[in-house]
Amino acid sequence: MSMDLGHSGKVLADIQRSGRAALIGYLPVGYPTVEISLAALRALTGEDDSPGVDLVEVGLPYSDPVMDGATVQRAGTRALERGVRTRDVFSAVETVAATGTPAVVMTYWNLVDRYGVDAFARDLAAAGGCGMITPDLTPDEAAEWFAASDTYALDRVFLVSPSSTDARLVSTVAACRGWVYATAVMGVTGARANTSALAPELVGRVRSADPDAMVGVGLGVSNGVQAAEVTAFADAVIVGSALVNTLLVADDAGTPGDLSGLRALVSDLAAGVRSGRGAAGTSTDSAGLVGA
């Protein structure tokens, strides 16, 4: 049985049919402040008719972010110190949804569990969110999330990695609704100078499990050139740490409201995705990859 594409997966499929891959951007709510983070999320989606990301991941800062790299950890820690709360994620989702760009929440499961799984799903749906990415929740431990996501028609995005066994990968892909998050670099998140030769192989394994699955790849992309390379084999290019870093640079410079660096990077990434070689999602050839 093919994956239910839900709302976010249908968005990615529509973009793929237009002849390019999608661009997914991550930023945490609350950094450098809640108000500025909302402006940053709006900037992600493009302004003044300039292209932006096609799907937004709204991150929810957590006190023990063991899967995050140094950049996202720094931003999240500062956001918590400056008073961000779980409920602020719903304001962030509303802000993104108002632009017409779909939004999903990316969060550690403990925050959802503490809020109440059904209540979180209810409030996420009410805010206009289309689903959730749960990096530390596996499908076999997700009974409450399955029930709540079905009740409120939310997408479920689980992660696979190069270390996933074939059996685990098949069961994870089957549990997803929307798309599959392929984290193609071993270890914590973070921007990298080179893309990973493991990524095309991992995407190929997902396609073997479900040829119709939409696959987003996160592997530390930090510029438009790398984004273009990933479009050769992925349905969506996921960028997080590089975007967050532009906010850290501005904050460290004493100008936390300066979003010019963020806007410039979004423009570069959007141009890269639109100039990518080959049809998105049709090849697992890694010949053009940096560092391959």
- Which residues are catalytic, by number? 57, 68
3-class DSSP state of 263: helix
Q: What are phi and psi of 259, to 5 degrees?
A: -105, 15
CB 21 within 8 A of CB 276: yes
Considering just the CA atoms, what is the radius of gyration of the chain in Å? 17
**Tokens (6 digits) for 127:** 């805010």
Q: What are phi and psi of 52, to 5 degrees?
A: -130, -155
Q: How far is CA 171 from the centre of its chain?
A: 21
Sheet strands side by side (includes 55-59):
155-157, 131-133, 103-106, 55-59, 22-28, 236-239, 215-218, 180-183, 159-160
